[in-house]
C-alpha cells in the first residue's frame, strides 16, 4: 500500500498528460462537448488517483502505528559505483509516513476544490497534471531513504512549482514570478547540493540510516577548506540549512514566495500550506542527528526563523491583496517552525507544520472562494460587506483566522503557543530572542488576520455594482474541501497533542527524531511560568481587538497613521526593500557583467577577430581581387608585367644581399 500512496499521483499525472494532447486536437476541431468530456475525465482520474493515494497513506500510517514496524520498501538498486551505493527505497518511519499522509490528504482536497475553481479554464488537463506531478515529487522527497533520492524530489518540486506558478503563461507577471521562484530556489538548492557532497566526503555514504549510525563518531571531525580547519558538522548543517531557507522562504531567500501568488489559488494552497514550503522544515527535522551536534547551526536556525517570523508579520499588516496577506502569514509561520527546530523542539515544529497545513489550506482556499465570488478581484480595499452574500465562506475564513491567530481551542493555539513556550524554556539568549519576537509576531498575526476579516467581510461594500450583483457562494466542489479542512483546523491540534508532544510522543516518533539529552527545551516547556503560557493568547486577543478598533470603530485612523508615519509605512509596503536591495547588489551587476562580456568577447573578440573577422577579411580580399577581372586584355597584361617585375626585384635583392 505504501507504493500505491507514493506512485498513484504519478499515474494520474500521466493520464492527464495524455489527455492534454487529445484535447489539443478536439480544440482544433472546435468540438466543445468533446473538450469538456476530456476535462471531466482528467479531473476524475487525477482526483481518483489522489483519493487512492490518501487511503493507502492513511492505512499504511495506521498499520505502522499499531504494529510498531516501519514499512521500508526497496524498489530497485539505483547506484552502485565504488563506495557510492544506494537504492531507490521508501522510508517508512513516523516522520515520513506522517508527511505522506498529510500531503496526500491536503492535496486531495485541493484537487477536488480545483474542479470548481478552474471550471472555466481552457487548460484543465494540464493544470490537473501539474498538480499531481507536484504532489508526486513531494512524496518522493519525504519518503526518501537517502539524500540523492531526497534531492531528486527536491528538484522535482522546484520544477513543478515553476510550471504551476507560471500556469497562466500569457500573463507577464506570472512568467516573471515563476522565473523568480525557480532562480531563488536554485540558490538554496546549490547549498543543499554542496551539503550532500560534504556528507558523502565525511561519511562515505548518502543513506540516512548509515549516516545516523556513525554521526556520533564524527561529531568532532573537521573539514579542510582553503587550508583552514572547520567543524565538519557545522559546515554541513549550514549548507543544508541554506537549502531549507530557499524552499521554506526564510529571510534572505523569501522573495519568491509572495510573487508565487500569480498562480491559481489552488496552487497557492498547495505550495504554501502543505507541501513545498514545508520541505525545508521536514529536511532539518530529518537531519536532526546532524544538527544536534552543532550548536552554531542550531543558533543560526533559531535566529533566522525568529527574524523571518517578525519580518513577514510586519509586512502582512499593510498588504491589501488578500492572497499576499496569507502568503506572508505562511512565511511568518514557517519562521515559528524553524525556531522550534533551532531549540531542538523538532516534534513541536512538526506539530505546527501539520496544524498549519490544515488551517492555511483552509485560508487560501477560502480566499479563493472570495476571489471566485468577486469575479477575480483580490484587493481587499475593493471588498467589504460580503458576510451576508457568502456566509459559508465567511464562517470558514473565521475558523481559519482563529486557528492562525492561536485562539483556544483551535489547532493553531496548541502548536504555536507550545513553540513560543519552548523558546523560553531553552533558557538561552537566542531562545529568549525567539520568544519575544514570537510574542510580538503572535500579536501582529492576530491583528492582520482580523484586518483581513473586517476589510473583506464587514463594513460597507467598496466594490462596484456589477461585481456585487455577480457575488455568489462557491459550488459544492469547493465547499466540501473547505468543510473538511475546517474540521482539521478545529480539531487536529487537540486530537494529536498527546501524540506529537505529550505522553505518547516517545512511542509515536520512535527513532525518526533525535534529540541530545542536553537539549531539554521541549520537556521544560511544560513547567514554564504561568505568564509565559498565557502571554501568547493574551497578545493574540489584543491584536484582534486592535484590528476591530482600527478598522471597524475608527476606520479613518489607519489612513491617518499611514500618512503620519509615511516612511515606516512605505518601508513595510516595500517589504523592507529586499527586492530593491537584491536588484542593486545582484541583478544589476550581473546584467552589467553579462553586457560587458558580450560586447568585449562576443562582439570584439569572436565577431571581430574570430571566425567572423576572418571571413570578413577573406571577403574583402576576394572583392578586391575580383575587381581585377575586368575583361580587358591590357589590364591582364599590366598585372602580368607587375608580377614579372616583382619576381625580378626579388631575385636581385636576394643575390645582392
The tens digit of pLDDT for each residue in 305-360 reads 999 999 999 999 999 888 889 989 999 999 999 989 999 999 999 999 999 999 99
Give the C-alpha distances (Å, rounded to integers) separating 620 from 96, 296, 610, 614, 623. 70, 67, 15, 10, 5
Tell whether the torsion through CA atoms of 462, 463, 466 and 468 is positive or negative. negative
Residue 71 is predicted with a pLDDT of: 82
Which of 326-340, 524-538, 606-620 is the least confident region?
Answer: 606-620
pTM metric for this prediction: 0.87
What average pLDDT does the segment 531-541 reach?
92
pLDDT for residue 354: 92
Least confident of 91-100, 164-173, 481-490, 591-600: 591-600
Sign of CA dihedral 538, 544, 545, 546: positive
- Residue 31 dihedral angles phi and psi, to the nearest 5°: -95, 90
| pLDDT at res. 55 | 94
Return all residues near 477 (Cβ < 8 A) that are at least 6 apart.
112, 113, 115, 116
| End-to-end C-alpha distance for the chain, whole angstroms | 97
Cell numbers for 192: 543543499
Question: How many residues belong to the chain?
Answer: 657
pLDDT tens digits, one per residue of 398-435: 999 999 999 988 999 999 999 999 999 999 999 999 99
Please state which of the ranges 31-35, 207-211, 232-236 shows the lowest mean pLDDT.
31-35
Q: Give the torsion sign (CA, 345, 351, 352, 354).
A: positive
Helix, strand, coil share (%) of the chain residues, nearest 5 = 80, 5, 20
Query: What does the alpha-carbon distance between residue 200 and residue 147 come to, in Å, rounded to a whole number?
Result: 10
pLDDT at 657: 57
Alpha-carbon distance of 283 to 246, in angstroms, equals 12
Q: Say yes or no to pLDDT of 612 above 70.
A: no
- E-strand stretches of 425-507: none
CB atoms within 10 A of CB 465: 8
- For 503, other C-beta atoms within 10 Å of its C-beta total 10
DSSP state at residue 512 = S
Q: 441 φ, ψ to 5°?
A: -65, -40
Cell numbers at residue 215, please? 554521526
Amino acid at each position: 500500500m505504501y507504493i500505491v500512496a507514493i506512485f498513484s499521483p504519478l499515474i494520474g499525472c500521466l493520464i492527464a498528460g495524455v489527455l492534454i494532447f487529445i484535447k489539443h486536437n478536439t480544440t482544433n476541431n472546435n468540438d466543445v462537448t468533446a473538450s469538456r468530456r476530456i476535462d471531466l475525465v482528467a479531473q476524475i482520474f487525477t482526483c481518483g488517483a489522489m483519493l487512492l493515494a490518501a487511503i493507502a497513506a492513511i492505512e499504511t500510517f495506521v498499520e505502522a502505528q499499531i504494529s510498531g514496524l516501519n514499512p521500508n520498501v526497496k524498489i530497485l538498486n539505483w547506484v552502485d559505483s565504488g563506495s557510492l551505493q544506494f537504492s531507490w527505497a521508501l522510508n517508512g518511519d513516523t516522520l515520513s509516513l506522517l508527511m505522506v499522509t498529510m500531503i496526500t490528504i491536503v492535496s486531495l482536497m485541493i484537487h477536488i476544490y480545483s474542479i470548481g475553481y478552474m471550471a472555466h479554464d481552457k487548460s484543465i488537463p494540464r493544470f490537473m497534471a501539474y498538480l499531481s506531478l507536484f504532489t508526486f515529487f513531494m512524496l518522493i522527497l519525504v519518503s526518501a531513504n537517502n539524500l540523492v533520492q531526497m534531492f531528486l524530489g527536491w528538484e522535482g518540486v522546484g520544477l513543478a512549482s515553476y510550471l504551476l506558478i507560471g500556469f497562466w503563461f500569457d500573463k507577464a507577471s506570472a512568467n516573471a514570478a515563476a522565473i523568480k521562484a525557480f532562480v531563488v530556489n536554485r540558490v538554496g538548492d546549490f547549498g543543499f547540493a554542496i551539503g550532500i557532497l560534504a556528507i558523502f566526503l565525511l561519511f562515505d555514504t548518502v543513506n540516512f540510516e548509515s549516516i545516523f549510525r556513525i554521526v556520533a563518531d564524527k561529531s568532532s571531525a573537521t573539514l579542510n577548506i582553503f587550508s583552514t580547519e572547520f567543524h565538519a558538522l557545522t559546515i554541513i548543517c549550514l549548507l543544508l540549512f541554506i537549502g531549507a531557507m530557499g524552499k521554506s522562504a526564510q529571510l534572505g531567500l523569501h522573495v519568491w514566495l509572495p510573487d508565487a501568488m500569480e498562480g491559481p489559488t489552488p496552487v497557492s494552497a498547495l505550495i504554501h500550506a502543505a507541501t513545498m514550503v514545508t520541505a525545508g522544515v521536514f529536511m532539518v527535522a530529518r537531519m536532526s542527528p546532524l544538527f544536534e551536534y552543532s550548536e552554531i547551526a542550531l543558533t543560526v536556525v533559531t535566529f533566522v526563523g525568529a527574524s523571518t517570523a517578525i519580518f513577514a508579520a510586519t509586512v502582512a499588516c499593510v498588504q491589501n491583496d488578500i492572497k499576499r496577506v496569507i502568503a506572508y502569514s505562511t512565511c511568518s509561520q514557517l519562521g515559528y517552525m524553524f525556531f522550534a527546530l533551532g531549540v531542538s523542539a523538532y516534534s513541536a515544529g512538526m506539530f505546527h507544520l501539520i496544524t498549519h497545513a490544515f488551517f492555511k489550506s483552509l485560508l487560501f482556499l477560502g480566499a479563493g472562494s472570495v476571489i471566485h465570488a468577486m469575479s477575480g478581484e483580490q484587493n481587499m480595499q475593493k471588498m467589504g460587506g460580503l458576510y451576508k452574500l457568502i456566509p459559508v465562506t465567511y464562517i470558514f475564513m473565521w475558523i481559519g483566522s482563529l486557528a492562525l491567530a492561536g485562539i483556544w481551542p483551535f489547532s493553531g493555539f496548541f502548536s504555536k503557543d507550545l513553540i513560543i513556550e519552548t523558546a523560553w524554556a531553552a533558557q538561552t539568549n537566542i531562545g529568549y530572542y525567539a520568544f519575544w519576537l514570537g510574542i510580538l509576531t503572535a500579536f501582529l498575526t492576530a491583528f492582520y488576520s482580523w484586518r483581513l476579516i473586517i476589510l473583506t467581510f464587514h463594513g460597507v461594500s467598496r466594490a462596484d455594482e456589477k461585481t456585487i450583483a455577480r457575488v455568489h457562494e462557491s459550488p459544492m466542489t469547493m465547499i466540501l474541501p473547505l468543510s473538511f479542512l475546517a474540521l482539521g483546523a478545529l480539531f487536529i491540534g487537540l486530537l494529536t497533542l498527546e501524540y506529537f508532544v505529550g505522553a505518547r510522543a516517545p512511542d509515536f516518533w520512535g527513532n525518526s527524531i533525535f534529540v541530545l539529552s542536553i537539549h531539554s527545551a521541549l520537556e521544560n516547556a511544560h513547567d514554564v511560568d504561568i505568564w509565559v503560557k498565557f502571554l501568547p493568547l493574551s497578545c493574540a486577543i489584543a491584536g484582534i481587538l486592535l484590528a476591530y478598533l482600527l478598522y471597524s470603530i475608527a476606520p479613518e485612523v489607519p489612513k491617518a497613521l499611514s500618512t503620519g508615519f509615511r516612511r515606516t509605512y512605505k518601508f513595510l509596503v516595500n517589504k523592507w526593500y529586499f527586492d530593491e536591495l537584491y536588484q542593486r547588489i545582484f541583478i544589476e551587476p550581473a546584467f552589467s557583467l553579462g553586457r560587458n562580456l558580450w560586447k568585449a568577447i562576443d562582439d570584439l573578440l569572436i565577431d571581430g577577430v574570430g571566425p567572423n573577422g576572418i571571413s570578413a577579411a577573406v571577403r574583402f580580399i576576394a572583392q578586391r581581387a575580383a575587381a581585377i577581372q575586368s575583361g580587358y586584355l591590357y589590364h591582364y597584361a599590366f598585372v602580368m608585367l607587375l608580377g614579372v617585375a616583382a619576381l625580378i626585384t626579388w631575385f636581385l635583392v636576394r643575390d645582392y644581399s
